[in-house]
Structure formats: C-alpha cells, structure tokens
C-alpha cells in the first residue's frame, strides 16, 4: 500500500505518455522552439507496463492517460489494451481530435471515461486559444461520446478576459446532456509569458455562473475528487470547479504522476521526482522498485503550496505538457 506521511493513500496514477500535442494552447506551450523528448528518452510500452504492474500490486487501481495529447503517441491502443489487464479503472484526458477512429477499440479495452479539453464553444476563439483551426475535430469527439452514452467530462481552463464570458454557456450544456463541466483555475505555468493575469479564482467563477444560474447548488463530491461539485436543479449534468491554483483539496489527494521520460512526481507542483527510466533500463527487480516507490510516496508534501515552496526555486514552473496537467 502506498501511504504518505500525512495519512493519504495513493491509488491513482496520472500517466503522461507523450509531451507532444497537435494543439498549441497559449497557456501550455509556446508556438515554436519546443524541444520534444526523443523517442529513446521516452519510457517504452514494456517499461510502462512493468511499472504499472508494480503500482497495481501496491494498491493503485486507476490510471488516467494524459500528455501532451495522449493520442499523439503512436500505437496507443496497444498500450491501453495491456493497461486494461492491470487497472480496473481507466480514463483519458484528450482534446479528442484523434479520438473518433479509435474510440470503439479503446472502450472495448475498458477505457470508458473521457475528459475532453475544450476551453471555448466558439470556433474563432478556439483558434485564438489553441493556435490551431480544429474546433470541428474536438466537437466531433464530443458529439460521438455523448451519442454513445460514454461517461464524459469537459475540462475548461478558465482564462480571465478570454473565455470567462462563456461559463454560463458551458453550464447550459448540462441542462439536456449528461455531461460534467469542470472549470479549472488557470495556473501560472510559463509565467514568464505573463500568464498571471489570466487567473480567475474558484469564487470568482462561481459568482459569474450565479449571474446566469442563481439557483446553482453545491453537490456531493466524488471521493478523492479534484473538483468541488455543483449542479443546477433539474439539469442532467453537473458542474465542478478545480482549484488547481488555490489548492484547497490537497487533504484528499490520492494522485501520483509519471512523466513521459519516466520521472515519478508526487504532486502537480513537484519539480523533484524519482527518475525511473535509468533504473528500469538497468534491470531493477519488482521488489526493489516497489520499495523505492513506497519510500518516495511517503515523502509527499502535505499540500501543493508546501511542494511549491520546498521543491521549486523561483517561480518558473515546468510546462503543463511535460507533466501531464
Ligand atoms: S496540489 Fe499536489 S497535493 Fe494538492 S491536490 Fe494537487 S497534486 Fe495533490
């Protein structure tokens, strides 16, 4: 069992399978000059599976595939098939553009929860935020997920002055659709780009939503949820606000992260991790690996604020695309 020194059990792996993406969201990646990891620097599928088997033995029961854009990783369905034999619960965070041709196959392997990243419902604004003209691609994935009755959440990174006038439009989607909308506080990744002014707090978001839906009410959160749940009475779907920057939900955090290059991280704000790639390539055995990970998780800091203070030097964070959001 993976227990940290603050009494939390880690049961959930966020597995970033690639740092590449087919979009260039302004808050996440620069337009040019990105040095993506070379193939030999990435964990292979065999290495990921070995590691996941060890984590499963240690009580991890859920994996979420992230990136970058996870579907940018070649032959991803093969990996999903193997992971489906290890973890009872699988989910993916994706922009959806590459999803429709492989959706049925992935669902067949047990990957049946999707978080679709979609920051706007307006085509022109999609281009402004992502620097790519593929609103139709993400919309196609959303329509297909909903038509097939697959559990779907829409992740909206709320950017002050860019899409914060659409919160009500997103909430309106929950009236007739069984979809959860999750509004995410923008984080100052790449804050040398001046992203701090984009931050809108949980309470400010709630205020904006209440202007259009004054009867929105607090709803019970799922266990270990990273979001605070709300719903409009009578609507089919729910709304959640993820306090990614204010970090008010760390007390129930059950998450562990793995980067595409094999660095294990205890927190979204971690910069110091356990470098697993050289250990895996030098043939470490299951028991030794389990012991190392168990010790590493014990050292998880109590909150994301502590992690930031104790691990980070200065205020320039890693890019979201290299640690899986
Ligand atoms: S900030 Fe870190 S400790 Fe807090 S919920 Fe997020 S990942 Fe967990």
Q: Is the CB of 249 under 6 A from ligand 1?
A: yes
Can you give the pLDDT at residue 316?
41
Torsion over CA: 79, 82, 86, 90 (sign): positive
Residue 151: HSE in the Cβ half-sphere, 13 Å Cα cutoff: 10
Q: What gap in Å lies between CA 75 and CA 240, rounded to an integer?
A: 32
User: What is the CA(4)–ligand 1 centre distance, in A?
Assistant: 13
Decide: 250 in ligand 1 pocket, CB within 6 A: yes
Map out the domains of the chain as residue ranges.
Answer: 12-323
Distance between alpha carbon 42 and the CA centroid of its chain, in Å?
19
- How far does the centroid of ligand 1 lie from the alpha carbon of residue 266, in Å? 8
State residue 78's pLDDT score: 97
C-alpha span between 266 and 272 (Å, rounded): 9
For residue 8 and ligand 1, the question of a CB distance below 6 A is answered with no
253 lines ligand 1 (CB under 6 A): yes
> By alpha-carbon position, which residue is closest to atom 4 of ligand 1?
250
DSSP per-residue string spanning 270-300: ----EE-HHHHHTT--HHHHHHHHHHHHHT-
Contact predicate 78/115, CB 8 Å: no
257 lines ligand 1 (CB under 6 A): no
Flag whether the pTM goes above 0.85: yes
3-class DSSP assignment, residue 319? coil
pLDDT for the residue numbered 277: 97
Is the pLDDT assigned to residue 313 strictly greater than 80?
no
Mutate to test the pocket of ligand 1, among 8, 307, 311, 324 (most ligand atoms within 8 A of CB): 307
Q: How many CB atoms lie within 10 A of CB 219?
A: 15
Whether 255 lines ligand 1, by a CB cut-off of 6 Å, is: yes
Q: Where does 83-215 show beta strands of DSSP type E?
A: 89-94, 111-117, 151-158, 180-185
* Cβ 232 vs Cβ 179: under 8 Å: no
Question: Which residue in 178, 181, 67 sits closest to 121, CA to CA?
Answer: 181
pLDDT exceeds 90 at position 225:
no
Per-residue pLDDT of 99-142, as tens digits, reads 999 999 999 999 999 999 999 999 999 999 999 989 999 999 99
Cα gap 306→63, rounded to integer Å: 25
Distance from residue 224's CA to the centre of ligand 1 (Å): 11
Nearest-atom index, ligand 1, CA of 257: 7
Q: pLDDT-based confidence at 318, cuts 50/70/90?
A: low
CB 61 within 8 A of CB 89: yes
- What are the DSSP E strand ranges found in the chain? 12-16, 62-66, 89-94, 111-117, 151-158, 180-185, 217-218, 228-231, 239-242, 255-258, 263-265, 274-275
Q: Identify the bridge partners of residue 155 per DSSP, sorted by sequence position.
A: 117, 182
- By three-state DSSP, how is residue 53 classified? helix
Pocket test for ligand 1, best of 9, 240, 269, 323 (most atoms within 8 A of CB): 269
Average pLDDT score, the chain: 91
Q: How large a percentage of the chain has pLDDT more than 90?
A: 74
Q: Strands 239-242 and 255-258: what pairing?
A: unpaired
pLDDT average, residue stretch 36-46: 94
Ligand 1 atom closest to 270 (CA)? 2
User: Given pLDDT bands bounded at 50, 70 and 90, which one contains residue 195?
Assistant: low
Q: Which two tokens stand for residue 20?
A: 């590449």
Distance, in Å, from the CA atom of 192 to the CA atom of 194, rounded to the nearest integer, reads 5
CATH superfamily of 12-323: Aldolase class I (3.20.20.70)
């Amino acid at each position: 069992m993976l227990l940290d020194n603050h009494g939390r059990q880690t049961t959930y792996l966020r597995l970033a399978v690639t740092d590449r993406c087919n979009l260039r969201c302004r808050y996440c990646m620069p337009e040019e000059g990105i040095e993506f990891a070379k193939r030999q620097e990435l964990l292979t599928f065999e290495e990921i599976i070995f590691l996941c088997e060890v984590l499963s033995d240690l009580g991890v029961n859920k994996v979420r595939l992230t990136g970058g854009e996870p579907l940018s990783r070649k032959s991803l369905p093969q990996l999903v098939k193997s992971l489906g034999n290890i973890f009872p619960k699988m989910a993916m965070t994706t922009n959806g553009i590459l999803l429709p041709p492989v959706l049925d196959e992935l669902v067949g392997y047990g990957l049946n929860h999707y978080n679709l990243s979609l920051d706007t419902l307006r085509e022109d604004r999609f281009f402004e935020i992502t620097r790519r003209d593929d609103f139709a691609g993400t919309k196609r994935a959303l329509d297909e997920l909903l038509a097939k009755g697959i559990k779907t959440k829409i992740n909206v990174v709320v950017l002050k002055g860019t899409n914060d006038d659409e919160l009500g439009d997103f909430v309106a989607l929950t009236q007739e659709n069984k979809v959860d909308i999750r509004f995410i506080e923008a984080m100052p990744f790449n804050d040398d780009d001046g992203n701090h002014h984009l931050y809108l707090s949980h309470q400010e978001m709630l205020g904006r939503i209440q202007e259009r839906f004054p009867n929105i009410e607090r709803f019970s959160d799922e266990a270990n949820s990273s979001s605070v749940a709300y719903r409009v009475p009578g609507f089919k779907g729910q709304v959640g606000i993820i306090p990614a920057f204010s970090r008010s939900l760390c007390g129930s955090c059950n998450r562990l992260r793995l980067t595409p290059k094999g660095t294990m991280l205890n927190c979204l704000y971690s910069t110091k991790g356990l470098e697993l790639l050289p250990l895996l390539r030098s043939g470490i055995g299951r028991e030794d690996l389990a012991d190392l990970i168990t010790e590493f998780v014990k050292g998880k800091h109590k909150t994301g604020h502590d992690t930031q203070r104790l691990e980070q030097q200065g205020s320039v964070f890693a890019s979201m695309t290299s640690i899986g959001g």
